[in-house]
Homo-oligomer: A and B are copies of this chain.
Amino acid sequence: MTRWKITVEYDGLGFSGWQRQPDAVTVQGTIEEAIKNFSDEIVTLHCAGRTDAGVHSLAQVAHFDLNKPTNGDVIRDALNFYLRLTKAVILHAEQVDENFHARFDASERRYFYRVINRRPPTPLQADRAWHVIKPLDINAMQKCADILVGTYDFSTFRAGNCQAKSPIRTLDKFIITRNGEEVIFSITARSFLYHQVRNMVGTLSLIGTGNWDFDMFQSAFKAADRTKGGPTAPAYGLYFQSVTYPQK
């Protein structure tokens, strides 16, 4: 039995999210099926960060165990053959220590959220970014994002059906940049609550458009109450960017 670590890119629009479901096309189910086609083995994939329907990934990481003797390049190319008609692709596959765990060993996860900020919609970026018409004030949003960095109760940005035991999380970085019409929210943490990134971005958008001021944002955050937060930004603007594992 060998443990394999794979890095996966996918177009979130092609799937009903990561997690296997009996009657829906999911990333996990699709890749598990490709592994079965390749090896005749039924495996369970464990990923670094489960994503919702519509959320994209540049480099999701997952692991699984296989009896079949093989190597990383063969796994990558064989799975990509079976995935060729899907919206997922294996970027890399490598053997890892039998104790490696894609979810529990991750020390840092990075997401970014893309907004196209202009009046006309954008056919070339449809389903790839959130279209926000009103001009976003980057400095005002960054000032609010700054107070989220650290260890806090993030209940204001936590979806009702979040299964985490604690609403406490540590945000390491939250950087908002503009490049022309494109606004990028880059967020780094060891782990996130369910919908935390999309709820933070959605709430910050109220600051960016001037509907909320700093004090309203701070009060909402300190209330630790989801009903005080802003809207959930749409899934298709969110990208799972990368995950870090400590050197052993």
Contact = CB atoms under 8 A, between A and B. Distances in A.
A22 interface: no
A14 interface: yes
Interface stretch (A120-128, A151-159, A201-209): A120-128
Most chain B beta carbons < 10 A, residue from A84, A91, A124, A126: A124
A45 interface: no
A40 B143 CA distance: 49
A80 B10 CA distance: 30
A138 interface: no
A58 B124 contact: yes
- Specify how many copies of this chain sit in the oligomer: 2
Interface in A88-109: 88-91
Interface residues of A, number: 24
A128 B56 CA distance: 16
Most chain B beta carbons < 10 A, residue from A58, A86, A122, A123: A123
Contact of A80 (B77, B84, B87, B120): B120
A2 to B, nearest CB: 21
A13 to B, nearest CB: 9
A32 interface: no
A98 to B, nearest CB: 26
Contacts of A128: 124
B123 A88 contact: yes
A52 interface: no
Contacts of A122: 9, 89
Interface string A114-151: 00000111111010100000000000000000000000
A17 to B, nearest CB: 15
Given A11-B126, A126-B11, A91 B120 contact: yes
26 contacts: A9-B120, A9-B122, A9-B124, A10-B123, A10-B124, A11-B123, A11-B124, A11-B126, A56-B124, A76-B119, A76-B120, A77-B119, A80-B120, A80-B121, A84-B121, A86-B123, A87-B123, A87-B126, A88-B123, A89-B120, A89-B121, A89-B122, A89-B123, A90-B120, A91-B120, A124-B128
